[in-house]
A = this chain, B = another copy of it.
Amino acid sequence: MTAKESLPRVVIVGGGFGGLQLARALDGKPVRVTLVDRENHHLFQPLLYQVATAGLGPSSIAVPIRAVLGDQKNTEVILGEAWEHDPATRELVLRDGERLAYDKLVIAAGAKTNYFGHEADWAPHAHGLKDLRDAIRIRERVLLAFEAAEREPDPEVRARLMTFVVIGGGPTGVEMAGAISELGRMVLAGDYRRIHPNDIRVVLVEMAPRVLTPFSEELSHDAAIMLKELGVELHLGQRVKQVTEGAVHFEGEKPLEASVIVWASGVKPVSLAERLGVTLDDRGRICVDEHCAVLGHPEIFAVGDIARFVPEGSEQPLPGLAPVAMQQGRHVARQILRDLKRQPREPFRYVDKGQMATIGRARAVAEAKGMKLEGLMAWFAWLFIHILYLVGFRNRATVLFDWFWQYVTFGRGSRLITARHDADDVRPSPLMASLPRTSTAPRSGEREAARPPAA
């Protein structure tokens, strides 16, 4: 056994904000790090809605994990899916059966779209937005709806094709609704001959009586005004009863027909959490102690969206935000190194740097430590912080260039539809099969939703 092989093994599941910060914090330290992710790229999720609305290309917000960690000699990256773990042998088992022995295991696998029990029946009709596939699919659906509307002679069908519904009034939903409305009204409408900007209808559905509930009422009110300025219709205090192909159903109301329905209503931990055999909370998150260690498993940590961390003196667990995951990742790196030096672990303290949401081009709301910003200044703050956060210089520069260019010209360089098929294509296209059909009535749902979602 060489010196290198005797070093403690740290296995990290997930190359998101938490996992990547953790891995980088272990660069040059006396540990062997293995990072497992089922994607080959780290994704800057807060900008995913920009890809979904053709504002940025996928490679502007994603960077190969290997490219980030390539120079880090003590670290290897595995493209694979963590499936379960074997506490007896201290091994992480991948989906294909490979076993990775660990001394410390960190679960940073993140969250997925939560349909609140309606995964099977609603997910095909209401698109989640958690990865690049989701974003590219929404982008193509939106662009294809415009193409279909341009060719549709029936005004009623055209009105439906030009209706877009976003379910969920949190930051993602607000950002999506604002960006779709802007894409349609300011960018796309000019390219079409038969679509007028006023034909485009974007509806934001939220169960609570206001958007952006994590923000103060004042900023929430400002955001609502900005959304209306952008032409977004607010459908507040509405509980979604059922989602069918091309229609959102409410209690005691006419269904809302739309060409594209986006589901931005909530997330839940990825299914790995359930298979680990550890203590979960009622929302499926892994319960961790004050050091971010999994209850009853001091050698396993959990950080980010998959973890439930309740700060001392608080009743509320920390929210699923990038800064939480990043701070926890760095904290766990320090605790692992303290363990090696036989120093006692320190409790994790979250430093809240505030929150922000953008509403279209040059509009945003932000609040931090009682300070509130709205409008153009908040947008600049948002722009600055997001570009700062982006991993890797190349991405940062490209995003800056894309944004600047888009800001100046209202152009959208990423309006590509790539999933279509045609007579000369030997491959089947899963997308085309689910395209909105023109001139056929939308199917309406027959089954009742078993349980209303927390939209």
Contact = CB atoms under 8 A, between A and B. Distances in A.
Interface of A: 38-41, 57-60, 62-64, 66-67, 70, 76-81, 83, 95, 98, 112, 119-120, 123-124, 131-133, 136, 143-144, 147, 150-151, 188, 190-193, 270-272, 394-395, 397-398, 401-402, 405, 409, 411-420, 422-428, 430
Given A40-B143, A401-B401, A418 B58 contact: yes
A37 to B, nearest CB: 10
Contacts of A150: 78-79
B398 A413 contact: yes
A67 to B, nearest CB: 6
Contacts of A39: 417, 420
Contact of A416 (B41, B77, B123, B411): B41
Nearest to A418: B132
Contacts of A425: 133
Nearest to A124: B426
Contacts of A427: 133, 430
A417 B41 contact: yes
B271 A418 contact: no
Given A39-B420, A132-B418, A395-B413, 20 more contacts: A38-B422, A39-B417, A40-B417, A63-B413, A64-B416, A66-B188, A66-B415, A67-B191, A76-B193, A78-B151, A119-B426, A123-B426, A124-B426, A271-B423, A394-B405, A394-B409, A394-B413, A398-B398, A427-B430, A428-B430
A219 to B, nearest CB: 33
Contacts of A405: 394, 397
Nearest to A193: B76
Contacts of A144: 79
16 contacts: A38-B422, A39-B417, A40-B143, A40-B147, A41-B417, A64-B412, A67-B411, A67-B412, A70-B190, A76-B193, A77-B191, A78-B151, A119-B426, A132-B416, A394-B405, A428-B430
Nearest to A148: B79
A201 B271 CA distance: 39
Contacts of A83: 423
A81 B423 contact: yes
A66 B416 contact: no
Interchain residue pairs A-B with the least CB separation, the first 10: A66-B191, A79-B147, A70-B191, A57-B59, A40-B417, A64-B415, A38-B422, A59-B414, A132-B418, A112-B424
A67 B423 contact: no
Contacts of A78: 150-151
A413 B414 CA distance: 16
Nearest to A406: B394
A418 B64 contact: no
Contacts of A422: 38, 81
A432 to B, nearest CB: 11
Nearest to A430: B430
